[in-house]
A and B are shown apart, each in its own frame.
Chain A
């Protein structure tokens, strides 16, 4: 092929190939290759070298010991359970708080909508760490916030149950609270996107046919926003389950979440194969439900 023919071929096919190929290339270089490295590491053997593992070498070539520990050691199992529980509670609370906000966004005038949407995203403009530290201050024993909660508690319960301060810091409650605060926009935005597409005349039609507003919500709005609920739920649940910073800063050290264990194995224990095995297990735990969901989603769309 002459060079002119080549350039003409590129003009015809090349740009399209480049456009389609770029995201794949990105995924291969920044996701698939690192992930393959992590998988390889997870079946390697821990060595006192730098880097502290070796793949292959002596028999056995593939060392499944790390996975064995992930599946049997109660420390890891409990960490998985804590992570899934905290992430699930955070996702559900985000849904309960975020749904009315997203619905409210669709019901206000266009100009108000833009302002409110801005306010939803506004917290991202300050550093994430700064916001977590702010919460640490609020939850601490001597803060006004804790004082207010303490006074309210003491006012409502019998005198025997009175406390000096509400224990918030270093609890799972604190982890969930800060995660809800941090991930709320990830719930609101997909919910808003799916609610905003709904045709308001459908609500009127349901009302016209005898439904009160609460029934309209149950029969018309809620079923049509399920894709948004699932998208928002996953956007909150998946990063929350692997969260490292929030449990480290405000969580209970004796009840670690899985992200904390991965970090500890990498840095303190220098057991990279173990860290990699936990990471792979976490990924499987997150990916399988996602795949099941998209399978049913595709089927539902196929029958539509």
Chain B
């Protein structure tokens, strides 16, 4: 097997009595945008700092481009970081900030250095601001200075710590796409730490979901969203309706589950490692549920009534009350119509249905 570009192998980090990262193994390919996603204190930042060299793993090793980088100090790693606070040197101009790392690049003439700075400023569209001081530019521009500075030395690996957290919503969406296009143009491997699942979903080729120092699941955004492997991942990414369930029968690629919360039986697609009689969790995403007035011809149907309804324009969120549960249903408002044409109204009796393929069965 070919050696992956970045291989993290059984890495743990302990601070005193606190286990910040425990036994994490990951591989990242060259040119990938890879996200570490998790809540605060999940260990994602510690993992990033170990890649940058600010922390050394308590155990385990990190291989970059086939080379073990344990014990290599930060100033010798071909890894650069974009800090969450940007950490721009306040006493230097924008151009001096961007060119700072190039001072250490041997064999570069003054002209080559200036040319590289100009190229980087052009890449992030900051050429007119080259001679400004950091406090004379906006937050979004500072973010781009930090990005240009980190990219100037052409790192093998760029680490981005919450790159968009300090920007307002409009700017964040714009910057997301800008980051992706810059990554495409430079071909540098990006590792992004974020707590924002939407940010991770749009930016990343693959995501590692972390919790309590452990990696819970690694996969493409689709895999993580559609095929979560645990209750934690299912509820952390997007919203989900989940119920206690028990496996009654396993036949023909399907599972027959008894789900007391839905007042009956549910058919779901078979998953590996399930035995008859086992207790599992059934999870259904709100947008995978169809809502109708008439009883539909479908495998899984339940009846309830609309308790609450929120209209968002492009879609609506219904909260449907069943005898034993409250379900969230997301329905796209595909057709224009006045209020009377809505699928259902407050207190209406409705039928809910979902496909066996859309039902997620979770063992963990």
Separation in Å of the A189 CB from the closest CB of chain B?
Answer: 22
For chain A, which range describes its interface: under 10, 10 to 19, 20 to 34, or 35 or more residues?
Answer: 10 to 19
Given contacts A208-B52, A209-B80, contact A304 B87 (CB under 8 A): no
Interface size, B (range) = 20 to 34
- Residues 52-88 of B, flagged 1 when their CB comes within 8 A of A and 0 if not, give 1110000000000000000001111001110101011
CB < 8 Å A-B pair total: 63
Is B85 touching A201 in the complex (CB atoms < 8 A)? Answer: yes
Is A204 at the interface (CB under 8 A from chain B)? yes
CA distance A206 to B102 in the complex (A): 11
CA distance A224 to B103 in the complex (A): 19
Give A208-230 interface residues, CB cut-off 8 Å to B: 208-212, 215, 219-220, 223-224
Chain B stretch 152-183: residues in CB contact (< 8 A) with chain A: 153
Do A212 and B75 form a contact, CB below 8 Å, given A206-B100, A219-B100, A304-B135?
yes
Partner pick for A204 among B54, B79, B101, B135, CB 8 A cutoff: B54
B142 close to chain A: CB less than 8 A: no
On B, residues with C-beta under 8 Å from A are: 52-54, 73-76, 79-81, 83, 85, 87-91, 100-101, 103-105, 133, 135-136, 149-150, 153
A205 within 8 A of B: yes
Known: A204-B87, A207-B73, A210-B103. 7 other contacts (CB 8 A): A201-B83, A210-B76, A210-B101, A210-B105, A219-B100, A220-B89, A224-B90
Question: Roughly how many angstroms separate A209 CA and B100 CA in the complex, as a whole number?
Answer: 7
Task: State whether A205 touches B133 (Cβ < 8 A).
Answer: no
Distance in Å: Cβ of B364 to nearest Cβ of chain A: 37
Interface assignment of A202: CB less than 8 Å from any CB of chain B: yes
CA distance A10 to B233 in the complex (A): 66
CB-nearest residue of chain B to A210: B104
* A164-220 residues at the B interface, CB under 8 angstroms: 199, 201-202, 204-212, 215, 219-220
CA–CA, A159 and B52, complex, Å: 57
Closest to A204 in B: B54
Docked complex Cα distance between A223 and B91 (Å): 8
Partner of B101, one of A199, A209, A224, A304: A209
CA distance A220 to B91 in the complex (A): 8
Bound together, the chains give a CA A204 to CA B86 distance in angstroms of 11
Per the bound structure, the CA–CA distance linking A220 and B90 in Å amounts to 9
Whole-angstrom CA separation of A212 from B75 in the bound complex? 6
Contact string, A152-169, partner B, CB cutoff 8 A, digits 1/0?
A: 000000000000000000
- A304 engages B89 (CB within 8 Å): no
Contact (Cβ within 8 A) B104 A211: yes
Query: How many angstroms from the CA of A304 to the CA of B149 in the assembled complex?
Result: 21
Per the bound structure, the CA–CA distance linking A202 and B149 in Å amounts to 13
CA distance A232 to B149 in the complex (A): 34
Residues of B within 8 A of A201 (CB): 83, 85, 87
Distance between A227 CB and nearest chain B CB, rounded to angstroms: 11
Which residue of B is nearest A216, CB measured?
B75
Contacts of A199 in B (CB 8 A): 85, 87
Q: Which residues of A contact B150 (CB under 8 A)?
A: 208-209
| Residues of chain B with a CB closer than 8 A to A210's CB | 75-76, 101, 103-105, 153
With both chains docked as a complex, state the minimum distance between the C-beta of B31 and any C-beta of chain A, in angstroms.
21
Whether B89 pairs with A205 at a CB distance below 8 angstroms is yes
Shortest CB distance A111–B (Å): 16
Q: Check A202–B104 contact: CB distance below 8 A.
A: no
Nearest-Cβ distance from residue A43 to partner chain B, whole angstroms? 46
